């Protein structure tokens, strides 16, 4: 069994005992130096248009004030020496070397992974006591940070009304611990935590997103509408005589409930399509970056020629990829769209959604499947794969 860092647990034991159940501190999960990313690098990324960044400052009686980037050097020049935090989202896409840190998490579904957020804080910097609605691994990259955490989830959190941040109105920590470079803290959803920089520090947050019931219902409804499925109307063949013609009684509500259940059960075959599209949707803040690789649709001759000349294709790091197969159908999902392909190409779907590049050997395997080949052409036009500047 594959080990889960240096905890003495296997990956499956971690999932069974800790995942979405209780926090775990992992000492020296990564060897130092964790990354060559510097605070100065992070400041530069926070100054770029389109990159999602936030600055959180504490002002005595006005705690934890939030500002959104991009920021320029003047913004940082006016900051005090302590008690502020810079956060930059999706740094695993904007700074690809960070993707190497994600490999130990490959036993968790990639479509569940959100991003690597990087935060820098001088001494005293924090974002306040809060909860997250997702699983997160907090990796200390540089400096030291003190964490105060709860031992139980908070399901009905009450937040302060004097800040734009979702900071807990009340927080009493059950545990306090200091993280040094290479240490990592895992927190399940809704566990309160408060991190305070003991000295200038960088923290990497590896977050795992989860869709809400409403998002899933919206995705399923959208898929039903697209399929032009005939509507099954409400029926009440065994209705009783009503005492009031304007009352919606409990038995009517029960029939409506069964109507919804029947809709799901009778169209269950569409659920994989709805789910695959939902979990691969591109974050709005990344759409412009992803669209930089949109191009013309290639031809078979062009693909053969370029691969035979030693060129290879890169996978768009700003898009999400996934696949599904059962006994009846197979789908490739990219950027919120689903493409039905041959059942026999399952191994290629796994390759297409995980490999960073496509080589001539990959192409020769793909072109044996006409539908998959045509889907690949469409996705190249959409920018999901693009020709690399390097020739192998």
Q: Is the pLDDT of residue 161 over 90?
A: no
Class of domain 11-208: mainly beta
| Percent share of the chain, pLDDT over 90 | 82
Q: What is the pLDDT of residue 242?
A: 86
Residue written as token pair 């959604």: 353
The contacts found for 367-375 with CB under 8 angstroms, 24 or more apart, are 367/300, 367/303, 369/341, 369/342, 369/344, 369/345, 370/342, 371/340, 371/341, 371/342, 372/332, 372/341, 372/342, 372/345, 372/348, 373/300, 375/332, 375/339, 375/341
50 pLDDT band (50/70/90 cuts)? very high
**Domain range 284-391, CATH class:** alpha beta
The string of pLDDT tens digits covering residues 340-380 is: 999 999 999 999 999 999 999 999 999 999 999 999 999 99
Mean pLDDT of the chain, nearest integer = 93
Kindly indicate the confidence band of residue 275, based on its pLDDT and cuts at 50, 70 and 90.
Answer: very high
Rounded to a whole number, what is the distance in angstroms from the first to the last CA of the chain?
A: 35
| Domain boundaries, given as residue ranges, for the chain | 11-208, 213-271, 284-391
pLDDT: which is higher, 334 or 1: 334
Confidence of residue 230 (pLDDT cuts 50, 70, 90): low
Rounded Cα distance between 45 and 50, Å, is 10
pLDDT for residue 392 is more than 60: no
* CA angle 365–297–340, rounded 5-degree value: 55
Residue 110 has pLDDT above 50, yes or no: yes
Question: What is the CB neighbour count within 10 angstroms for residue 106?
Answer: 12
Question: Picking from 35-49, 117-131, 144-158, 218-232, which range would have the lowest pLDDT averaged per residue?
Answer: 218-232
- Out of 143-147, 237-241, 290-294, least confident range: 237-241
pLDDT band at 162 (very low <50, low <70, confident <90, very high): confident
Mean pLDDT of 170-185: 95
What Å distances lie between residue 244 and 21, 128, 241, 247, 249, CA to CA?
49, 55, 9, 6, 9
What average pLDDT does this structure show over 74-99?
Answer: 95
Residue-level pLDDT at 91 = 97
* pLDDT band at residue 390 using 50, 70 and 90 as cut-offs: low
Which range (186-190, 262-266, 274-278) has the least confidence? 262-266
pLDDT band at 178 (very low <50, low <70, confident <90, very high): very high
pLDDT in the model for residue 1: 77
Q: d(Cα 32, Cα 34) in Å, to the nearest integer?
A: 5
Please tell me the predicted confidence (pLDDT) of residue 61.
65
In angstroms, the CA 148 to CA 132 distance is 14
pLDDT at 318: 97
Tokens of 8: 């003495």
Whether residue 126 contacts residue 167, with contact meaning beta carbons closer than 8 Å, is answered with no
Residues 6+ apart with CB under 8 A from 374: none
Determine contact, residues 81/125, Cβ cutoff 8 Å: no
Which of 94-103, 164-173, 189-198, 271-280 is predicted with the least confidence, judged by mean pLDDT? 164-173
């Amino acid at each position: 069994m594959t080990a889960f860092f240096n905890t003495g647990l296997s990956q499956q034991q971690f999932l069974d005992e800790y995942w979405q159940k209780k926090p775990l501190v992992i000492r020296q999960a990564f060897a130092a130096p964790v990354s060559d990313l510097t605070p100065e690098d992070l400041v530069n990324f926070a100054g770029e248009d389109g990159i999602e960044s936030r600055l959180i400052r504490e002002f005595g009686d006005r705690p934890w004030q939030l500002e959104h980037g991009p920021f320029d050097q003047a913004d940082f020049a006016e900051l005090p020496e302590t008690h502020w935090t810079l956060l930059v989202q999706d740094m695993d896409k904007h700074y690809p070397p960070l993707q190497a840190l994600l490999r130990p998490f490959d036993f968790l579904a990639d479509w569940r992974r959100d991003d690597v957020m990087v935060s820098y804080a001088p001494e005293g910097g924090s974002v306040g006591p809060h909860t997250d609605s997702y699983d997160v691994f907090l990796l200390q990259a540089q400096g030291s940070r003190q964490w105060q955490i709860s031992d139980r989830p908070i399901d009905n959190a009450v937040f302060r009304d004097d800040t734009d941040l979702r900071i807990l109105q009340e927080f009493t920590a059950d545990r306090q611990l200091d993280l040094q470079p290479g240490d990592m803290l895992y927190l399940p959803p809704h566990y309160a935590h408060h991190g305070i920089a003991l000295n200038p520090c960088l923290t990497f947050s590896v977050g795992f997103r989860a869709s809400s019931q409403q998002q899933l219902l919206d995705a399923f409804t959208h898929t039903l509408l697209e399929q032009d499925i005939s509507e099954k109307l409400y029926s009440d063949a065994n209705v009783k005589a009503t005492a009031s013609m304007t009352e919606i009684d409990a038995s009517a509500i029960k029939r409506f409930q069964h109507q919804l259940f029947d809709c799901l059960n009778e169209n269950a075959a569409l659920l994989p399509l709805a789910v695959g599209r939902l979990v691969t949707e591109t974050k709005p803040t990344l759409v412009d970056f992803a669209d930089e690789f949109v191009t013309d649709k290639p031809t078979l001759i062009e693909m053969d020629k370029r691969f035979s000349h030693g060129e290879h294709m890169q996978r768009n790091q700003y898009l999400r990829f996934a696949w599904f197969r059962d006994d009846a159908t197979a789908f490739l999902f990219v950027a919120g769209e689903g493409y039905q392909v041959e059942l026999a190409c399952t191994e290629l779907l796994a390759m297409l959604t995980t490999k960073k590049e496509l080589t001539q050997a990959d192409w020769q395997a793909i072109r044996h499947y006409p539908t998959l080949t045509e889907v690949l052409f469409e996705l190249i036009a959409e920018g999901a794969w693009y020709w690399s500047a390097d020739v192998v």
